[in-house]
Amino acid sequence: MSELSKAERMKLPRQAMPEQKPDIRKVNFKEVPHGYTPEQAMAEASRCIECKKPKCIAGCPVEVDIPGFIRLVMDGKFAEASRKIKETNSLPAICGRVCPQEEQCEVVCTLAKKFTPVAIGNLERFVADYERDNNLTELPEIAPPTGKKVAIVGSGPAGLTVAGDLIKLGHQVTIFEALHKPGGVLVYGIPEFRLPKEIVKAEVDYLKQMGVEVKTSHIVGKLDTIDELFDQDYDAIFIGTGAGLPNFMRIPGENLNGVYSANEYLTRSNLMKAYDFPNADTPIARGKNVAVLGGGNTAMDAVRTALRLGAENAYIIYRRSQVEMPARAAEIHHAEEEGIQFLLLTNPVRFIGNGEGRVERMECIRMELGEPDDSGRCRPVPIEGSNFEIEVDTVVVAIGNSSNPLVPRTTPGMDTNKWGNILVNEETMESSRPGVFAGGDIVTGGATVILAAGAGKKAARAIHEYVMNKE
Amino acid sequence: MVKVLEHYHLGENNYKIVFEVPELVKKAQPGQFVVLRISEEGERIPMSIGDMDPEKGSLTVIYQVIGKTTALMATLKPGEHIMDCVGPLGNPSHVDKKGKYMVIGGGIGIAPVHPAAKKARENGNEVFGIIGARTKDLLFFEDEMRKACDHLYVCTDDGSYGEKGFVTDVLKRLIDEGNKPDFILAIGPVPMMKAVCATSKPYDIETWVSVNPIMIDGTGMCGACRVSVGGITKFGCVDGPDFDGHLLDFDELTSRLRMYHQMEKESMEQFEKKQPCYIGLKESSKKSA
Ligand SMILES: Cc1cc2nc3c(=O)[nH]c(=O)nc-3n(C[C@H](O)[C@H](O)[C@H](O)COP(=O)(O)OP(=O)(O)OC[C@H]3O[C@@H](n4cnc5c(N)ncnc54)[C@H](O)[C@@H]3O)c2cc1C
Ligand SMILES: Cc1cc2nc3c(=O)[nH]c(=O)nc-3n(C[C@H](O)[C@H](O)[C@H](O)COP(=O)(O)OP(=O)(O)OC[C@H]3O[C@@H](n4cnc5c(N)ncnc54)[C@H](O)[C@@H]3O)c2cc1C
Ligand code: SF4
Ligand code: SF4
Ligand code: FES
């Protein structure tokens, strides 16, 4: 294809991602997109005009060498392309699937202005899958042992990235994870139909092969504190415990049966496989009329899970309008295709029980958009007297999470802000406790996988320096 | 994987199981709990700490078979393993010096008040214990409790052992006799804890209870364990499990515990079809504990 001129290449149509049809996929938990074929990937790659000053790189939080890896795809060197990405992003199979590309690398692609941007995410996903599925994953060279020990608390994308980078540098690395499976939100939150758990498992297995020790069912702050880990001769500690504490609406009836936090609903379905009840032991309500409150990725995941669990009506209830929804555009689109009903500019006021402790109805109020607030988004204001009720038997509250206070509370001298996020030096990710580093959602509040992974990269560099300069 | 060291049938549906968890028992305090996972596709179930021996590295759980997971647990033999035992979770019970410190354990709740009684006595309290069960076969830990308390009172609903009557009858009598406690820790079935609180309220005796809402992670991540305390929503696993019983909404707790009754029945029926005689232990190792 390289015989085409730049101008011609730009005009090639973007390769559509083949995916399961909406009416088929809405009743199964299998991944929605099938992924590119090698031919499609090469065709898509040939659209990249290899800009001299590639804006896409600047749009990526970890500055993946995008034209560099795409050139390798064009040449059919898929595994090499994957390795190229891994120089800066160790989780391409995951980021290719879940990054909000439309706000990051793709939105700034030169082609975006006049045509459609290069499908960077789809290509990233393709090469990483190709490398893994064809057993082309090579173990990197591991530096000679340094004799230094690093503890990592939490196995989400931040913790996994730190572990991968530090083990390569010859340090001894142990990950402590509270749950029985490693992966953080990637395993308990994001559903199988968006991110197959096998992929997360492959990433963790890869780390284990390199020598990372993973201790699950081990809660730092309960079983041992940060200070006690130092007593066990760890030279440095990374905290990547995420933003796991669910927020509630604080409105009447919220403790009725059938009202879930998104974390509970998704954990039951994903981590505990409740969709397979009674073959799996953990139950989940299979609601007929399910309302999910919120407009982020979490809300989309919950509402699409409800549909797959058999809901006849699955609603998104969001207090602003669609343009303000923080969820990824692709996921809102998928949800619409599957028949999710969007009740926008609507806010719940109270939940009403059936007299036996179970939610039966929900009272809502309509909203209108007022002046922009601190976040720059228009502030929703209730319209007096516009209250109405809808019938629901299951409600999922997906209005965000706060940080889990367990580690900060048991670590004297570690400073946090008023939301409980750990304060760090932005260059080194070191907290106010020397030798204790932190990154990901526990520092930023709920953000994205790639930002957590990027923070992990930064922290790993600083931890390496710190432990090597220690006496 | 966590090894089962001992396993006994106590009576009716009650069992005592001992796990090898040396790191965990070093940290565990009376009032805390653990979350167990028996099999790979299994549920995570919370269980109170009934006893612990840091020297042996062992942790005792007293449990009642009421559904699929506890029934599966009852099939385990010493030397076998479960998938996980995570903890210690929750906050320790108040066991500091109060003066006349009373523990009330009903049914399976006798287990968690036992370590609290021991510790409260170490801390210089005069410890009164009341333990009760429906019938004689359901009582356990009498000897242990006698050692842990300065005064122990035993009752059964049907009078088959000890005094006939409810734990609240004994509590009322003790108060009337001039032994009004300064603090009560009551653990047992929800109706029992509610009754104890109703009894102690008029006397203005600080009364704490341990809640047992449905839990998944036990770390504050899911919010399944919500309870209302004085009108404010708290998470049972990280804010509790002990709460001021005079502020707790017992009716909401009862209702929330019923959330999955129908599905649990289904799960148990499927299990019984596959494994009709899970109670092998009942016959083979009936021992007093
Ligand atoms: C439902 C859902 C959908 C999302 N969708 C997207 C998306 O499409 N794209 C995107 O980019 N981002 C998405 N996000 C956000 C993204 O998942 C997070 O920003 C990211 O996972 C944060 O990574 P982390 O490593 O900081 O923490 P987490 O992934 O939260 O992992 C933290 C881990 O630490 C463990 N832990 C906590 N406390 C302790 C302790 N005391 N001891 C031991 N272990 C502990 C936890 O169990 C957990 O496993 C989504 C989030 C949710 C909830
Ligand atoms: C902090 C705490 C401490 C506990 N300590 C003990 C103890 O020492 N001994 C003991 O026998 N039991 C204890 N329980 C209750 C025990 O967790 C349940 O009996 C067990 O989960 C039942 O599981 P199952 O599959 O056998 O029954 P199922 O058929 O699944 O459920 C039967 C009933 O058990 C309760 N239950 C079910 N799943 C859970 C869950 N995940 N979390 C909490 N409750 C649930 C519900 O009320 C349910 O209706 C405790 C519970 C909590 C929250
Ligand atoms: S990591 Fe995410 S933002 Fe960066 S190039 Fe890949 S898909 Fe784009
Ligand atoms: S901006 Fe777009 S066209 Fe330019 S190098 Fe990046 S991906 Fe290729
Ligand atoms: S059990 Fe999940 S928050 Fe308490």
A92-104 mean pLDDT: 93
The DSSP secondary-structure symbol of B277 reads T
| Measured distance CA(A451)–CA(A91) in Å, rounded | 12
A407 contacts in B (CB within 8 Å)? none
> From ligand 2's centre to the CA of A224, what distance in Å?
26
Model confidence at B13: pLDDT above 50: yes
What is the percentage of chain B residues whose pLDDT exceeds 70?
A: 95
B138-150 mean pLDDT: 93
Residue of B nearest to A284 (CA): B260
Phi and psi of A215, rounded to 5°? -105, 105
DSSP strand pairing (A401-402 vs A245-246): antiparallel
Q: Which of A98-102, A312-316, B90-94, B274-278 has the lowest mean pLDDT?
A: B274-278
pLDDT at A7: 82
DSSP strand pairing (B44-48 vs B33-37): antiparallel
Which residue in A347, A256, A340, A249 sits closest to A303, CA to CA?
A340
Model confidence at B284: pLDDT above 50: no
Model confidence at B289: pLDDT above 60: no
The whole-model pTM stands at: 0.93
- Residue A302: pLDDT band with limits 50, 70, 90: very high
Model confidence at B8: pLDDT above 60: yes
Q: Quickly count: other Cβ atoms within 10 Å of residue A20's Cβ.
A: 15
B217 contacts in A (CB within 8 Å)? 178-179, 267
A8-36 mean pLDDT: 90
pLDDT at B276: 55
B267 contacts in A (CB within 8 Å)? 277-278, 281, 283
pLDDT per residue over A445-469, tens digit each? 999 999 999 999 999 999 999 999 9
User: What value does the mean pLDDT of chain B take?
Assistant: 91
Regarding predicted confidence, which is higher, B281 or B20? B20
Asked if A404 lies within 8 A of B89 by C-beta distance, the reply is no
A182-208 mean pLDDT: 95
A244 lines ligand 1 (CB under 6 A): yes
pLDDT at B173: 93
3-class SS at B86? strand
| Measured distance CA(A397)–CA(A294) in Å, rounded | 7
- Residue A143: pLDDT band with limits 50, 70, 90: very high
B66-72 mean pLDDT: 92
Asked if B220 lies within 8 A of A404 by C-beta distance, the reply is yes
Four-residue CA torsion sign, B66, B69, B71, B74: negative
Q: Atom 3 of ligand 4 has which residue's CA nearest to it?
A: A48
CA distance A131 to chain B (A): 29
| Measured distance CA(B49)–CA(B38) in Å, rounded | 17
pLDDT at B280: 47
Residue with tokens 């309960």: A222
| Measured distance CA(A1)–CA(A379) in Å, rounded | 50
DSSP strand pairing (A359-372 vs A388-391): antiparallel
B265 contacts in A (CB within 8 Å)? none
| Measured distance CA(A425)–CA(A431) in Å, rounded | 6
Model confidence at B110: pLDDT above 70: yes
pLDDT at B287: 43
pLDDT at A214: 97
A89 lines ligand 3 (CB under 6 A): yes
A121 lines ligand 1 (CB under 6 A): no
Asked if B86 lies within 8 A of A245 by C-beta distance, the reply is no
Model confidence at A22: pLDDT above 60: yes
Residue with tokens 């009752």: B155
First and final C-alpha spacing in chain B: 25
| Measured distance CA(B263)–CA(A258) in Å, rounded | 14
pLDDT per residue over A382-423, tens digit each? 999 999 999 999 999 999 999 888 899 899 999 999 999 999
Helix intervals (H) in B230-286: 236-239, 250-257, 261-274, 280-284
Q: Which amino acid is at B268?
A: M
| Measured distance CA(A162)–CA(A464) in Å, rounded | 10
- Sheet hosting strand B163-164, strand order edge to edge: B163-164, B151-156, B126-133, B100-106, B183-187, B206-210, B242-244
3-state secondary structure chain A: CCCCCHHHHHHCCCCCCCECCHHHHCCCCCCCECCCCHHHHHHHHCCCCCCCCCHHHHHCCCCCCHHHHHHHHHCCCHHHHHHHHHCCCCCHHHHHHHCCHHHCCCCCCHHHHHCCCCCHHHHHHHHHHHHHHCCCCCCCCCCCCCCCEEEEECCCHHHHHHHHHHHHCCCEEEEECCCCCCCCHHHHCCCCCCCCHHHHHHHHHHHHHHCCEEECCCCECCCECHHHHHHCCCCEEEECCCCCEECCCCCCCCCCECEEEHHHHHHHHCCCCHHHCCCCCCCCCCCCEEEEECCCHHHHHHHHHHHHCCCCEEEEECCCCHHHCCCCHHHHHHHHHHCCEEECCEEEEEEEECCCCEEEEEEEEEEEEEEECCCCCEEEEECCCCCEEEECCEEEECCCEECCCHHHHCCCCCCECCCCCECECCCCCEECCCCEEECCHHHHCCCCHHHHHHHHHHHHHHHHHHHHHCC
pLDDT per residue over B166-224, tens digit each? 999 999 999 999 999 999 999 999 999 999 999 999 999 999 999 999 999 999 999 99
For residue B89, give the ligand nearest its CA: 2
CA distance A227 to chain B (A): 14
> From ligand 3's centre to the CA of B231, what distance in Å?
46
Model confidence at B277: pLDDT above 70: no
> From ligand 5's centre to the CA of A95, what distance in Å?
29
Q: Which domains does chain B have, with CATH numbers?
A: 2-90 (2.40.30.10), 100-210 (3.40.50.80)
pLDDT at A21: 92
Examine the predicted complex and report whether its ipTM is higher than 0.85: yes
pLDDT at A358: 94
Hey, which of B237, B243, B259 would you mutate to test ligand 5's pocket, going by the most ligand atoms within 8 Å of its Cβ?
B237
R_g of chain A computed on alpha carbons? 23
Model confidence at B55: pLDDT above 60: yes
Farthest CA pair distance, chain B: 56
